[in-house]
Each structure stands twice: as structure tokens, then as C-alpha cells.
Structure 1
Amino acid sequence: MKERTIQIIKYFISNQEDVTFQQLSKEFQVSARTLRNEVNKINDFLAQRKIGSIKNERGKGLKLITDTEKKSELLTVFEEWSEFIYFTPEERLFDLILASGLGKQATYLYAKEADYQVSKSTLDDDMRRVRQLLYKYSIDIVSIPKQGLVLSGGERTIRTMLFDIIVKFIGLVDYQQNEVDESILDKILFTYIPRKTFYQLDEIYNRKISAWEENIYRKQVLMFTAIWVSRFNLGNTIADTLSENAIFNESEILDFVDAVMIEFKLICSLNERKYIAFILESFNKKDMNNSIEWVQAQLLTIQLIQHVEKETKIPFSRREERLYEGLYKHLTGLLHRMKTNFQVFNPLTENIASSYPEIYEAVVRFAPTIEEIVKNEITQDELAFLAIYFSTSESRINQELEYIFKVAVVCNHGTATAHLLAENLKELFSVEVIAILSSRELTVLKKMDVDLLFSTVRLEQKTLPTLLLNPILLEKDKRRIKEFLIEYQHLRRVVNEPRNGTSLLFSLLGIIEASGGTVTKEVYQKVEQTFKNHQLKINQEEIQPMLEDVLNESGILLNVPATNWEQAIEKVATPLITAKVIEPKYVTAMIASLNEFGPYIVIGKNLALAHARPEDGVKELGISVMTLEHPIIFGHEENDPVKIIFCLAAVDSYSHLNIMKDIVALIHDEEKIKLLTEATTTSEFQKILYQSR
């Protein structure tokens, strides 16, 4: 049996979906006629063994029709014929990379020639393709006497590459599937990382992180951990660069890592332990407040929501709370991953891009802003994840709001007929008929606020999207109207707003206080619940403090001398320490973070936002600001020197959202930054800072 015939049989064993001859032709690079001959030969082979057959159903395509038992028999046949089984070029590529990176035995090219049953020239071509693929990771593959094929590159990079290659070739690994349903690529993977390893890791995950969640984050955590365990057991470790006395926060991820070390008897350095925890933490989007990227993620979240809302005209700010929370957590993990050349796989990317094209494209156009911060490219998979949050928010908005089109009707069949058409349109579709006109009255349209035009006569001049209809609507007209409205749905208008009870809430609380009462936390919660019971929406954004509510006069320092960035941070934090908003250790944490992670607090041209994590010594929400007598170099390539520095003390991830919005506005307003740095009095500084109010 020829190599190609065996490849086609293997394809049908692993593929559960119908496939056309055209798809097969593209897959195997041969004509449909040749493939028909191959399928006939395969069916003869299958008939001889009474295993089943490949059926071609009209309108659907080809599919191997047999049961699980027969598939097992077929696999047994191939085991017996193993000397004739050839890997496809892609399977050989996958095997060569995994053999070099995860194989316990030395891998020699002459042995692979025999295993693959290919010529030396074919294997040479395969090796050229391997080198081309690894080049983008800055990894080489070399053949060393007595060692065989060896990957040459940094260990961090090699682990990331192996993860990336496995995800790209296989996707999300399902180690629990029936072996009969495995693809050849699955079999190759489990040759180098046994199923047992995944089962062991899964059990540890159940104990240390979650026994009930089943999502892509879990699967990818297990995949990367399996690669780490395999590489470590082969003697490949991360170089020690940390002090043995280094301290970092404990977490469930670290508990998981420690349990893995015990289970697999790994004796790891502190640096190795911190590295794997750092990578695995980037998959975790439960609570990222302990990440140093939290402020960057908040700034990006605000900018992204504003950008997508502007691009799509969808009022995402109406559902900002849940949208913000989801995006913020994902972006924090994303920044964490991108800085280590590590991004997650999304099996739904194509579906998201095709189902929500407007939102997806808007997110794609925002990508350069994210890439500029981390100096790395973001994948389409990660962009699709971001689009999911907006798509979900859009669905919630659509459930709350009613949309209409404002339309005009042009009809020359008499007043009664025109009004009948208008009433039918209003009854069947979400339209408001602004005017009923004859074809001689079209000039008045210029003065009307109209989105669309429905006409029973063909019009020469079309200043608006226009649909030609029968005066008495037929079923085909109704279908065409529906398609027409979908095409121009971006012109829809919101007609009913959710009842916003925020102003009423403030008025009611004011009455309570004016009458001698006290608004305690318990009282506020009861009032808030009463509003919800009566379907009155409270806009949490309006309740949150603004920048001017939190920034006191005593927190504004002007034209202050500082010799270096450390001293600048110490001085801008002084008002917050004096007001007992933060503890002195918060300043120490800010300086330590910059020493470890670089000038990440320089968020805009000449602008810095000093901060650390809430648990580093924050007592309550607060902010201070300082202009510098002389600009300070923080080490940022593009935004240095810093002329104005804020110090933010946040207690959580949401209560200071309005403050962050004001700071985001400053990032894009270099003229205002200039005016602020030139201010000589506190009142002048405040006037400039709040002038957009």
C-alpha cells in the first residue's frame, strides 16, 4: 500500500467530520480524480476485512462509517503493518521537534530515516523546515555526536516554544479521550509526555486549585507544567539568578507547584520554583490585584473600552462594571504572558472573528497600543478573547435597550395606501415613520432626521439607504426589509433607557442625613437593595469618587527638587503618609518594584504614576501629585524625562476607576501636562487639571 493511501486512511480514522473531495485535494495536494481512485482502493481494503467503508453522501461529503470496535481492529491492522506506516510531513516535523526537546533517548537522523521510511534527502528537507520554524524562537537544532539532535537556546525560550508548537499542532490536548479517537499527532505527543503525567497533574490541580472548573486555562496550565516536568527531568533547568533569601507571596499556584515537585520528586532551586509559578500565574484570571501589572491593565482597560465604544457606536459604558472587571483581569494576565513571550490558545478565534466582525476588528485596531507597552506582538487568539468580553456586554445591552430606525415612506399610490404601508412597517419592524411623502417632496428630506427610506417608486436620486417595495407588503418584501435593516443596523437608535436611579439615590441619602440620620454601610446596602427590587439601576461609576474628590490641596506639591527617581517617589508619597492613607512600607514596595521590573510606572510622555499593590500598605483610597523642579530620568526609552508624578493608593480594582479615567485623559494631552508643570500655585494647578469638567 502506498504512503499516500495510508495517509488518507489515517486521516479518516482521526477525522470525525464529513469532508469533500475538494478539501481532501487541498489537504493532500492531489487531484479529486486521483483521490476518488484512492478511496475506491481503500474501500476494497476495508471490505476485505469487513471493517466498514468510506461513504460519500450527497450534499455532505465523505466519512468513514464504522463503529469503535471496528476502528480498533483497523488500528490493530496498522500496528501489524507498522513497517509501512508513514508520517505526513507535518507529523514528521512535530515528531522531530518533540524528540529533540522531550525525548528520553538520543535522537539520531539515520534512525529517524528508518522510522519514517523516507530518503536522506527527504529528511534533510524536513530538518530545513524544522530550523526555519525554530528560527523565529531564536532556537537552533544541532546534531552532536553521541547526543543526537539537541535544541540550542535559552531554557525559558525552549519551554515556551515547545508549548507553542504543541498548541499550534494539536490545540487543547485531551488526554482523557478514547485512544481510538486519537490523531497521529496525539500519539506522538503521548510518546514523549505519557498520559499518566497528565492524569497526575490533573489530580494535583483538583486538590490545590479547583476540582470543578474545566476550561482552557486549566488545560494549558497542565500542558505547560507537563513540559516543565519533562524538561526538568532531562536535566534542563533555569539558571539561578535569585538570592536564596528572596521572598515572594504565596498563592494557590505556588501550592500547586510545590505539590508537583513532591509528586514527581523534583528538587528545584528557588529560581526554578518562582519561574514556573510566574508562568502558570499568567493563566489565572481570578484575582490579579497581586500582580505588578495591575495599573497598566487598568489604564489599558479604560482605553480599550473607550476605543471600542467609539469605533462600534455600541454604548458599552452602560454595562461598564462587569465588562471592566472581565477585561481588567484578562489584560493583567495577558501583559504578564506577553512579557514572557507566552500567550494562550483560543479554539474559537475564527468563530469570534466571523460572528462579531465589527467588535473583533475594533479590538484588532487597538492591538498596537498593547504591543507598544510590552514591546511584543499580541496573537489573534488573545485578541479574540478580548472581543468575547465586548460581545457578551453587547448582548446584555441589547436585552436592556430597544432600538429603532427613523424612516420615511415615499408612495405615489394615494394617501390611504401610503398610510397602510407605514402602519405595516411600524407593526412588523422596529421603525418610527417620520414622514409619508410623494416622489415630488423628496427635497424636504434634507431637513428631516431620517435614517432610511422605503419607497414604492424607483428613485433617481438616493441620498439615504433606500429599499424599493410593493405598496401592499408581500412575504418576499418582509424578508427583504429584514435583510435591509440588518445591513444598516449601525444606524439604529436607542429609544428606551434603563431607569437610572442614581440621582434619586443621592437625593434620598441626602434627606436621611438632613433629617438627622446617619447613612451607615448597612443603611446604604438596604437602600441599594430596595432600588434593585424596583428595577431602578444605580450607575456605580457615578457613585465612585472623582479625582477632585480624592486629591486634596495638601496632596499637591509644586516645583519640588529631587535628585533621582527614588527621591521623587519618596517625596510624592509624603502627603499620603502624613494623612495615614498609606504606611511607609508602601514607599519601600514602590521603589523595590521599579528596581525589579523597570520603569513601568512611566505611563505617558513626561508622566509617571507611582504605585504598588494594595496589600503593600494601603489603608484607604488616596492620591497625591507632584511637579518636579527639574525633570527626572526614570529609564523609560520613550517617555522620559518625567516632569509630573502621581502617587496612587488603591484599595481594590474598581473603586478608583474614575480617577484612572482622568489620568488616561492626561496620557493623551501633552499640552495639559505642560501647563500643569508650569503652574505656580495650587489653585492654578487645580483649575488646569479639572478644566474639562
Structure 2
Amino acid sequence: MKDRTARLLNRLVSAELPISIKALSEEFQLSARTMRNEINELNDYLSQQDFPLVYSLRGKGMKLQLNKKEEEMLLATLKADKKNEFLNREERILDLILAIGLAKDKVFLFHKEEEFQVSKSTVDEDMRRIRELLKEYGVNVLSIPKEGLILRGKEKSIRTMLYSIINKAIGTVSLTDQYKNQSLKQKIIFRYIPITMISKIDRIYDSCISASEDNYYRKNLVTFTSICIARFLNKKKIENTIWLKRDIYTNKIIEVFVETVFYTFGIKDALNEFNYLTFILETLNQQDMNTSIDWVQAQLLSIQLIQHVENQTHIPFSKKEEVLQEGLYQHIASLLNRVRYDVQFSNPLKENIQKSYDMIYRAVNSFAPVINQLTGKEISQDEIAFLVIHFSTSLSELNQEVAYYYRAVVICNHGTATGRLLSENLKELFNIEVLAVLSSREIGLIEKLDADLVFSTLPIEAMNKPLLVLEPIIKEDDKEIIHHFLEQNKEHRRISKNYQDMTHIFHSLLQVIDSQVGDVSKDVYEKLAEIFKENQFLVNKRELQPMIQDILEDEHIILQAEAKDWQDLIQIVSEPLVKDETITQQYVQAMIDSVNEFGPYIVIGKHLALAHARPEDGANRLGLSVATVKDPICFGHDENDPVKIIFCLSAVDSFSHLNIMKYLVQLINDEEKTKQLDDVTTIEDFKKILFND
């Protein structure tokens, strides 16, 4: 029996309800006609073994009805009957690429012909397709006498290529998953990156980063690190890291992780490798304003993206702006680096996301040119699908009812955003209250939660609570399965609860704290917000954020400034904030150093600049100043120079300045207002135009 037919049999055996041909076709990536042929082949096998056949239930799908004894006998027969597995073209291409890129021994095509048991012309066609595939990575395959096949290209490009190929091959499965029934692609990967190496790196992740976390970040970090170590041990090294920016703001936790990995595998005196790996792993992480030089650009992009998608889809995403903006901002901050340095995530759920959320996908995709222009690179469809997940989750929140009848826990190994998407879909469609989204490493917490049902994206050990295994994205066929599952567990229904909007009480408490102890710190704010969340009290943080007119004081407005150059202009606009100790002189120098290092990224619109640095560079409190320029100054921006108006922003957290950022987005899109502001000569006129008075 073919491996694909065996997988189909296992799928039908494990399904409690009928599965439509359409759902099977999507799952196995086959046409409906080919899927019917597969079922016919499967029925031939079942008939020969005297087992019941797969049959069609009108309007519902395909079903294989077995009793317990028949199921056990069938699976045992299947295991005993399993013959040598022959690779199809896709699997041969994967094996060839990994062999050339990671094998310790030389690779010759005639050896591969014998190993695959195929003709020379077949392998020649495999190699033609490989060469075409690797072009997009700037990598070529050469055949050298006595040396065999080798990869030609920059080492960082080769590693990125291997990372992408492996990610696409394993799909939603982590390399650290060691199920008894490994897929053929997993077996191929483990031939060239030993599972022992991967397991060691995964355990180091446990000790250095998180023992409970299990998401896309962990999967990608372990995968990429494994590739780098395998290449280095095969004497394929990063020759220099001159192409890296000097200050990469690497998280200390990442540095400790890489140091431990190097120690474990006996790697010494490899500074270039260390700098390269720590930098790339940092780009894979979702970043906040304390670690990313792009924090302002990421927040501007997230605000613009929400407005764009809302305009395109007419879905009121701004009602869920608080959580949506925060999730998008952190994702985009790391995405910008990934795009720049060609290490974009592979998204195994891309096709399902495209089909399930087509309108949102098209809206996000139409915004992609803005990101492409900023980075100078093209954002992949896989990365676009990750952005769609954030919007899809908010859409579920907008549609859901506020009454809940079941309490449940969601187990998901595909990352926080994907877990939240499944959670919100369950709440929207089935009146389910999800108490927590956990990874498989946190299963022990289930018994401590007051939950009745468990939904999981992967098989887990049996427990004392009803369990249903689902795909991360709920499709039409899944709805019937979930409904059937809930019907079977009616006794677990709970009395409904209603959430309450407690924004006014939250604000009152902040005022009390402020009157007693002074300015409310970020820690106090977040702890109070968490208490409200735990007690199911809604707080609209957007209503608590100051407007631009609340922050911009007369003393912070400078008109017709005379500056020698852009460095002098930054000094001038920041002077009022230094004078009242909103920022330090160190913050001013950090702004200048950042432009010297990263270019004119602070020029955010036509003739408009926003000077800023990271909070720890010397921001004492939220503040804003602005200067118009008598003689416009060039920063070196190809499209938006010369600068006529420059703002200086001091931000101390990721949320309190968002209304200011939203106003600046409006200003970017209003060149006429920028011109009017540049022409005024009095502070009163400036404020009247700026604040729309």
C-alpha cells in the first residue's frame, strides 16, 4: 500500500463522523477526482483483507465503520503489510537538497539513482527543478568531478534556503515531535540533522528560554539553530558579519542560549558565528519597544494596516483596536528584520487561512507594498497569512456572543496568535468560554483549571475531561464535529455570564493611585489591568490614552527653526524636552546615533520626521515637541526629503502614546495640512491647524 493510501486509512479510522471529499482533498492536497481514486484503491485493499469498505453517506461524506476488534486487526495488518517506502518527486527533491547541504559525505548523482531506484533521466529532472527552486535564494548547485554536488552561494543565503525548505516540509509538525508514526519527510530530515542534535538544542531552549512555551517561535528557533550547527560542524562557516548592523540590541537570554549551544557542541573561537546566530534568532522573536529600533515604524505600520483593512473590508476592527494593535505591532517589529535579512517564517496554515479568511487576506495583501517599500524586500505570502491571523481573531471577538455555556481549555502548539484564533472561533460559534490557551508542555495545568472540555490541535494523553482534536482553523466540516461533541457533553453546560465595561472604574482607580503615590508606573498599570482581565471586566485602554493636545505644550513648539544640518535639527527640537527633564541628553545622542547607524528611518512622511529612541536610552516620561524649519533639511531620504516639520517623541511604554501616533498617521496622509503648519508664524495658529480647532 502506498504511504498516502495508508495515511488516508488512518485518517478514516480515527474519524468519528463522515468526512467530505472536499475536506479530504484539501487535507491531502489532491483533486477531488484523485481522492476518489485513492478511496477506490483503499477499498480494493480492504476487500482483499475481508474488512468493511469505505462508503458514502449522502450529503455528509465518506465513512469507514469498524468495531473495536476490526479496528485493532486492521491497524495490525497494515503495520505488518507495510513495504519499503519509495520516495515521490517532492520527497526526492527534499532528500537531495538536504544531502547536498547537510550530509558529511560527498553526494554523487549516480549514488542517488541507486538509492532512489529511479532512472538517470528522473534524477536529472529532479535536479532541474532543484536548480529552479534555489534561484530565488541566490543559491546554485554545481557538480564538480571527484567532489560531487555542492551548493554555491553566500553561506547566510544557503542557511536561509535550508531553513525555508525544512519548514515547508514539516508543515505544522515541530522537529522535536517524536511520534511513533513519523512522516517520511521527518525521516528524511533526521537523516541529515540527527534527532539527538535537535533534542539537545530543544532541551537547551527549556533551560535558557522556556520549558512550557511551545509555539512557532520555539519551532523556528530550534530549527534554524540546528541547521547552523550542522553546517558549522561540516566546516561551512559564516566568514564575516560586516553586513550586520553594529548595534543589534540582542536579548541577553538569546546570548545565553547561543553560548550554551556552542558549549554543548564544542564550538570555540567562532565570534562571527555567534554574532550571526544571535542576531538571526532575535529577528525570529516578537519584539517590543525595548528591543527593536523599529518600534515607532512598527506602530505606525500597525495603525495604518488596521485603518487600511477596515476601509477595504468595512469590518469595524477599530472597536478591537487595543489588543489588535498590540499584537500587530510586536509581530511587525520582528517581521521588518526578518524581511530585511531574508529569514521569513514559513506558515503551514497559509492555504487554510487564505480560504477561510479570503476577504481579510486580500486586504492585508494589498497593504504589502507599503512594507516592501520600507524594507526594500518583498514580504512573503506566508508572513501575510500570519498578519491575517491577528485580524481573524479580532473578527471572531467582534462576532461572538457574550453568553457562555461551556468552560474549556485550548491546547495549541502553533503559537499564541493561532491558539487565540482557535479560542475566539470556538467562543464565537459555540458559546464556549475558553479559560486558557496552553501548549502541550502545560497539560498538567488543565486539572488545576475549572474547565469541563478540552480542545487540542494535536493528540494528547487521555485525561478525565472530554477531549476533541481539531485543526487550528475551524472549517465547515469541523463545525458539525464540534456540535456533535458538545451534544455528547450537554451535562457540562454552565450558567451564562456577562462581561462588563469597567473603563470608568479603572480610570478612577488610576486617579486615586496617582493622587496618593504620584505618577502611575507601567508595572502598576499592567498589574491593575491584569486583575480586571482575570475578573472578566472589560477596559478600553484607548479611552485612557492622552490626545496630542493633552501632551504638546506651548513651550514645546518651535517655529521657523534655523538648523545647520539634520543633527543640529534633532538637537533643536529635543531641547524643550531636555530642559524640563522629560528626556536626557543621552536620549538626544541616541536619536542621532540611530540615524547615523540605520539611515533616515525617522523621516516618516513627505517633509515630515519623527525623532525618537528606545525608552531605556533616556526617556523619563511621555512627552512631545515639534519644530518647523525655516530652511528645509535633508536627512538622506530618497522620497520624503527635505524635512520641513520634525516631532520629537519620548515614550516610556507601548500604549500611552498611541493616540499621538494615530494623529501622526493622519498627518502623513495630509500634505496640505503639513504645508499649512510649515507656513504659520504664531503658536496659536499652529495649534489651531494641528488640533483642527
Question: How far apart are the structure 1 equivalents of 2:302 and 2:33?
Answer: 49
Question: How far apart are the structure 2 equivalents of 1:89 and 1:351?
Answer: 24
Name the aligned partner's letter for residue 91 of structure 2.
E
Contact 1:172 1:216 in 2 (8 A): no
CA 143–319 in structure 1, closer or farther in 2 if over 3 Å, else same: same
Q: Which residue of 2 aligns with 1:541?
A: 542
Q: C-alpha displacement at 1:209, in angstroms? A: 0.8
Which residues of structure 2 form unaligned runs of 5+?
Answer: 65-69, 404-497
Contact 1:363 1:387 in 2 (8 A): yes
Q: Which residue of 1 aligns with 2:54?
A: 56
CA 33–346 in structure 1, closer or farther in 2 if over 3 Å, else same: closer
2:198 aligned with 1:198: yes
Name the aligned partner's letter for residue 624 of structure 1.
S
Query: Which protein is bigger by CA-based radius of gyration?
Result: 1
Question: How far apart are the structure 2 equivalents of 1:608 and 1:560?
Answer: 14
Q: Which residue of 2 aligns with 1:188?
A: 188
Contact 1:163 1:227 in 2 (8 A): yes
Q: C-alpha displacement at 1:210, in angstroms? A: 0.7
Q: Which residue of 2 aligns with 1:174?
A: 174
The sequence identity of aligned pairs, in percent, is: 45
Contact 2:582 2:619 in 1 (8 A): yes
CA 609–25 in structure 1, closer or farther in 2 if over 3 Å, else same: closer
Contact 2:602 2:611 in 1 (8 A): yes
Q: C-alpha displacement at 1:634, in angstroms? A: 2.0
Residue deviations 1:286-310 (CA, integer Å, cap 9, x gap):
6453111111111011112222333
Q: Which residue of 2 aligns with 1:160?
A: 160
Residue deviations 1:315-371 (CA, integer Å, cap 9, x gap):
333332222222211121222211122222333334434444443333333323222
Q: Which residue of 2 aligns with 1:479?
A: none
Q: C-alpha displacement at 1:381, in angstroms? A: 3.0
Question: How far apart are the structure 1 equivalents of 2:663 and 2:240?
Answer: 42
SS, match of residue 141 in structure 1: strand
Question: How far apart are the structure 1 equivalents of 2:508 and 2:334?
Answer: 37
CA 171–54 in structure 1, closer or farther in 2 if over 3 Å, else same: farther
Q: Which residue of 2 aligns with 1:211?
A: 211
Q: C-alpha displacement at 1:532, in angstroms? A: 9.5
Question: How far apart are the structure 2 equivalents of 1:244 and 1:641?
Answer: 26
The 5-angstrom pairing of residues 268-283 of structure 1 reads 269-283=270-284
Residue deviations 1:411-464 (CA, integer Å, cap 9, x gap):
xxxxxxxxxxxxxxxxxxxxxxxxxxxxxxxxxxxxxxxxxxxxxxxxxxxxxx
Name the aligned partner's letter for residue 93 of structure 1.
I
The 5-angstrom pairing of residues 302-341 of structure 1 reads 302-341=303-342
Question: How far apart are the structure 2 equivalents of 1:196 and 1:540?
Answer: 47
Question: How far apart are the structure 2 equivalents of 1:9 and 1:652?
Answer: 54
Contact 2:633 2:643 in 1 (8 A): yes
Name the aligned partner's letter for residue 158 of structure 2.
I
Q: Which residue of 2 aligns with 1:129?
A: 129
Q: Which residue of 2 aligns with 1:595?
A: 596
Q: C-alpha displacement at 1:642, in angstroms? A: 2.0
Contact 1:137 1:157 in 2 (8 A): yes
2:347 aligned with 1:346: yes
CA 119–518 in structure 1, closer or farther in 2 if over 3 Å, else same: closer
Q: Which residue of 1 aligns with 2:240?
A: 240
Which residues of structure 1 form unaligned runs of 5+?
Answer: 79-84, 403-495
Question: How far apart are the structure 2 equivalents of 1:151 and 1:297?
Answer: 36
Residue deviations 1:559-617 (CA, integer Å, cap 9, x gap):
22333322322222222222211122222222222233222212111211111111111
Q: C-alpha displacement at 1:663, in angstroms? A: 0.8
SS, match of residue 58 in structure 1: strand
Contact 1:172 1:219 in 2 (8 A): no
Q: Which residue of 2 aligns with 1:619?
A: 620
2:690 aligned with 1:689: yes
Q: C-alpha displacement at 1:228, in angstroms? A: 1.1
Q: Which residue of 2 aligns with 1:98?
A: 98
Q: Which residue of 1 aligns with 2:639?
A: 638
CA 521–554 in structure 1, closer or farther in 2 if over 3 Å, else same: closer
Question: How far apart are the structure 2 equivalents of 1:626 and 1:140?
Answer: 52
Question: How far apart are the structure 2 equivalents of 1:327 and 1:398?
Answer: 20
Contact 2:570 2:588 in 1 (8 A): yes
Question: How far apart are the structure 2 equivalents of 1:396 and 1:671?
Answer: 38
Q: Which residue of 2 aligns with 1:574?
A: 575
Question: How far apart are the structure 2 equivalents of 1:113 and 1:532?
Answer: 61
Q: Which residue of 2 aligns with 1:443?
A: none
Q: Which residue of 2 aligns with 1:291?
A: 292
Question: How far apart are the structure 1 equivalents of 2:131 and 2:529?
Answer: 62
Tell me the TM-score normalised to structure 1 length: 0.73
Contact 2:39 2:54 in 1 (8 A): no
Deviates more, 1:123-132 or 1:344-353: 344-353
Name the aligned partner's letter for residue 611 of structure 1.
H
The 5-angstrom pairing of residues 280-679 of structure 1 reads 280-285=281-286, 287-399=288-400, 502=504, 539-679=540-680
Question: How far apart are the structure 2 equivalents of 1:533 and 1:43?
Answer: 53
Q: Which residue of 2 aligns with 1:481?
A: none
Q: C-alpha displacement at 1:535, in angstroms? A: 9.2
Q: C-alpha displacement at 1:147, in angstroms? A: 2.3
Q: C-alpha displacement at 1:94, in angstroms? A: 0.9
CA RMSD of aligned residues (A): 4.1
Question: How far apart are the structure 2 equivalents of 1:263 and 1:398?
Answer: 50
Contact 2:258 2:278 in 1 (8 A): yes
Name the aligned partner's letter for residue 194 of structure 2.
P
CA 357–29 in structure 1, closer or farther in 2 if over 3 Å, else same: closer
Deviates more, 1:302-311 or 1:647-656: 302-311
Q: Which residue of 2 aligns with 1:116?
A: 116
Contact 1:14 1:182 in 2 (8 A): no
Q: C-alpha displacement at 1:33, in angstroms? A: 10
Contact 1:204 1:260 in 2 (8 A): yes
CA 195–15 in structure 1, closer or farther in 2 if over 3 Å, else same: farther
Q: Which residue of 1 aligns with 2:449?
A: none
Name the aligned partner's letter for residue 328 of structure 1.
Y
Question: How far apart are the structure 2 equivalents of 1:259 and 1:14?
Answer: 41
Question: How far apart are the structure 2 equivalents of 1:529 and 1:216?
Answer: 25
Contact 1:502 1:537 in 2 (8 A): no
| Count of matched residue positions in the alignment of Structure 1 and Structure 2 | 579
Question: How far apart are the structure 2 equivalents of 1:94 and 1:62?
Answer: 33
SS, match of residue 137 in structure 2: coil
CA 521–678 in structure 1, closer or farther in 2 if over 3 Å, else same: closer
SS, match of residue 181 in structure 1: coil
Deviates more, 1:222-231 or 1:85-94: 85-94
Question: How far apart are the structure 1 equivalents of 2:624 and 2:343?
Answer: 34
SS, match of residue 559 in structure 1: strand
Question: How far apart are the structure 2 equivalents of 1:13 and 1:575?
Answer: 72
CA 26–528 in structure 1, closer or farther in 2 if over 3 Å, else same: closer
Question: How far apart are the structure 2 equivalents of 1:220 and 1:507?
Answer: 42
SS, match of residue 211 in structure 1: coil
SS, match of residue 623 in structure 1: strand
CA 28–105 in structure 1, closer or farther in 2 if over 3 Å, else same: farther
CA 272–582 in structure 1, closer or farther in 2 if over 3 Å, else same: farther
Question: How far apart are the structure 1 equivalents of 2:506 and 2:171?
Answer: 52
CA 584–147 in structure 1, closer or farther in 2 if over 3 Å, else same: farther
Question: How far apart are the structure 1 equivalents of 2:102 and 2:381?
Answer: 28
Q: C-alpha displacement at 1:655, in angstroms? A: 0.7
Contact 1:25 1:31 in 2 (8 A): no
Q: C-alpha displacement at 1:56, in angstroms? A: 3.2
Question: How far apart are the structure 2 equivalents of 1:400 and 1:42?
Answer: 48
Name the aligned partner's letter for residue 201 of structure 2.
L
Q: Which residue of 1 aligns with 2:465?
A: none
Name the aligned partner's letter for residue 600 of structure 1.
Y
Q: C-alpha displacement at 1:688, in angstroms? A: 2.0
Question: How far apart are the structure 2 equivalents of 1:72 and 1:319?
Answer: 51
Q: Which residue of 2 aligns with 1:220?
A: 220
SS, match of residue 143 in structure 1: strand
Residue deviations 1:248-304 (CA, integer Å, cap 9, x gap):
554212221111111112225434323222222233226453111111111011112
SS, match of residue 627 in structure 1: strand
Contact 1:7 1:88 in 2 (8 A): no
CA 6–354 in structure 1, closer or farther in 2 if over 3 Å, else same: closer
